[in-house]
Structure 1
């Protein structure tokens, strides 16, 4: 029986070693194909858990060989090296976190002012995330109080396609600042429910969140999507009073494809003034994105762009220019927050950095934050490391832009 238990323990430790190593490799390895993207996105976000797993496996290996008198030194060294590699990989995001958080803090202080938090009402500050990272929340989740939600509100019916929106409101009745939220999905998929957790979180912070919809490629090519976003903004303008929205204090946020639409809508004479733009890993220069595809290329970027724009930069160059937010930069734009993942091979961080430089050169305020371990759609793991840091600065940025005593 002891022999059976010992063999079972060895197999269990071996299995845990392989699982921990396999998942930890995706912390640094970008996904080569779309089906592997969940590993590349998720592994960095749960890396503290992987660090614990790999640490326990390393200790178990050492104890196991010690109990056997180190009779198989080559096997011991081999397994210990593998577990050590997994341990180092899983520790890397945490080892980088402090420096990245300091860089993010410096970026926001440089743009908004070192005393920007003093302009935010203390009652609102008390509701925000207390730290950029709370390890326990990775497992327990981020708590979200109850909010009021109106779903599937019909907005428009272009070409027979029913477009709707969800509206998320705080429990307290009154006029609130607002956020217009645009989902991503390569312009081909998604609904107003797509970012439900984030939208409920922000509503609990005191915002009215308008989660809008748009027609999808390849059935509809650009600029149909932008036209739908502008129609949704017109609806916000018309219905602001009914849904307790202070139209003088509105920001717009998008993710990936939704960010591209959000920036275009905000930077090109929206139906009413927008105070702030938040871009999570959005495409910035579609011509450059087509001509310089990333390596690896998990979503087949050129096919995605052809589906969206109906051709290549050679066949429809004007549409590529028109759809690129970097070509719309001018003085006097709303303050912008840009957050990109350094491991992203769908929209590389360099494009966000270039947009930030272009905005600054035109005298605009912009905050650029790069998370070196994060992949595209990092916030899909809502309580993960990357989204905790992004959320920490997003809610402070929004409070400064929409609620602060100086805004």
Structure 2
């Protein structure tokens, strides 16, 4: 009976690869289910081989464990399929300006890899009358003026900090890119567009110290996750800063107006409350704030090249946001690419070496290579 119960629990966990999580804690489990799927697949195999064949529940438990195993390995097969064409797709979207080649998009061996940390320094980039803001600077391993990625953390515009998910920062620095992971003013104390102003001030600070930090001031790229993706896109699209060469968007709410009209389940996140805290009220009260905070509002032919990365199983920020943004960029003729991850949920890149983490890292590195020095 214990084996049968364990088999059922494994199958229910595996279903989070196929369907969006219905509740917050199950969303956290979905991240593990999708990005550590190979570990859970091995567990399912162990359960499949365990037990006594004379047990009346043996066959049922075996069938359930086998189904769970097949679902757990699905992301590995899907990642392999995407990997086979990702390089060519990215080349078409962003013709490379140099000959540097990123590693293979996805490999089973890398599931077991470790990301060595790169040392970083913290500095204040802006002092306001009521607060000061800092950034963490990861210097490029290449000692020459190099592009700089400004990383903007997620956290519903009200939490998180510059230390969030540092693994990609380390990888970028190891591959020859400077990284500045910034803190910004957060809700509810500060409202939109305060974080966009912070990005602008971070750009000014980094440009002012470009010589000391070995930054190529013509190659700044904004990278944001979730709420940080919204900030990155709005900044990239509205500042009209010639030094911003591109924007990388991980699972952001690109259409705040539509997002407010179709909120996420409150069992996951009260998305309307989150937006109201950031924008200063309901859509009925401050509709222009929602319009002005929607990245797709500002899409035209002049916006920087954009890389979109989103999991179809995202339970916090609907996949539809990226579809809408992709459509607008397509209509405007903006160089862009949408990396679609069928199994992945919000925050999938928590495991940088998981199937989603590997593919997204590859796409980021190829995007950076295309925007790099000519």
The normalised TM-score by structure 2 is 0.93
Aligned residue in 2 for 1:136: 109
Change (3 A) 1:345 1:16: closer
Asked if the contact 2:326–2:338 (Cα under 8 Å) also holds between the matched residues in 1, the reply is: yes
- Tell me how large the CA RMSD over aligned residues is: 2.1
- Distance of 2:153 and 2:10 partners within structure 1: 32
Asked if the contact 1:221–1:309 (Cα under 8 Å) also holds between the matched residues in 2, the reply is: yes
Change (3 A) 1:81 1:295: farther
Match of 1:90 among 72, 78, 82: 72
- Distance of 1:390 and 1:54 partners within structure 2: 27
1:109-124 matches, within 5 Å, as 109-113=91-95, 116=96, 119-121=97-99, 124=100
Asked if the contact 1:281–1:352 (Cα under 8 Å) also holds between the matched residues in 2, the reply is: yes
- Distance of 1:303 and 1:102 partners within structure 2: 41
Aligned residue in 1 for 2:44: 54
1:367-382 matches, within 5 Å, as 367-382=337-352
Structure 1, unaligned runs of 5 or more: 1-9
Aligned residue in 2 for 1:401: 371
Asked if the contact 1:30–1:296 (Cα under 8 Å) also holds between the matched residues in 2, the reply is: no
Change (3 A) 1:165 1:270: farther
The normalised TM-score by structure 1 is 0.86
Name the structure where helix makes up a greater proportion of residues. 1
Q: Deviations over 1:223-256 (max 9, x none)?
A: 1121112111111221212211010122111111
Aligned residue in 2 for 1:218: 188
Aligned residue in 1 for 2:246: 276
Of stretches 15-24 and 179-188 in structure 1, the one that deviates more from structure 2 is 15-24
- Distance of 1:112 and 1:155 partners within structure 2: 31
- Distance of 1:313 and 1:92 partners within structure 2: 40
Is residue 21 of structure 1 aligned with residue 14 of structure 2? no
Match of 1:384 among 343, 347, 354: 354
Of stretches 16-25 and 325-334 in structure 1, the one that deviates more from structure 2 is 16-25
Is residue 160 of structure 1 aligned with residue 130 of structure 2? yes
Secondary structure of the residue aligned to 2:212 is: coil
- Distance of 1:279 and 1:264 partners within structure 2: 11
Is residue 365 of structure 1 aligned with residue 347 of structure 2? no
Aligned-residue offset at 1:204: 0.9
Secondary structure of the residue aligned to 1:241 is: helix
- Distance of 1:227 and 1:295 partners within structure 2: 31
Of stretches 49-58 and 307-316 in structure 1, the one that deviates more from structure 2 is 49-58
Asked if the contact 1:255–1:282 (Cα under 8 Å) also holds between the matched residues in 2, the reply is: yes
Is residue 192 of structure 1 aligned with residue 162 of structure 2? yes
Aligned residue in 2 for 1:344: 314
Q: Deviations over 1:327-385 (max 9, x none)?
A: 01111221111010000022122211211121121121110111010001111112211
- Distance of 1:350 and 1:272 partners within structure 2: 30
Structure 2, unaligned runs of 5 or more: none
Change (3 A) 1:161 1:35: farther
Rg comparison, structure with higher value: 1
Secondary structure of the residue aligned to 1:284 is: coil
Is residue 150 of structure 1 aligned with residue 121 of structure 2? yes
Aligned-residue offset at 1:34: 2.3
Match of 2:29 among 18, 27, 39: 39
Aligned residue in 1 for 2:259: 289
- Distance of 2:350 and 2:129 partners within structure 1: 32
Asked if the contact 2:125–2:202 (Cα under 8 Å) also holds between the matched residues in 1, the reply is: yes
Aligned length: 374
- Distance of 2:58 and 2:32 partners within structure 1: 30
- Distance of 1:103 and 1:308 partners within structure 2: 39
- Distance of 1:103 and 1:197 partners within structure 2: 25
Aligned-residue offset at 1:88: 2.4
Secondary structure of the residue aligned to 2:181 is: strand
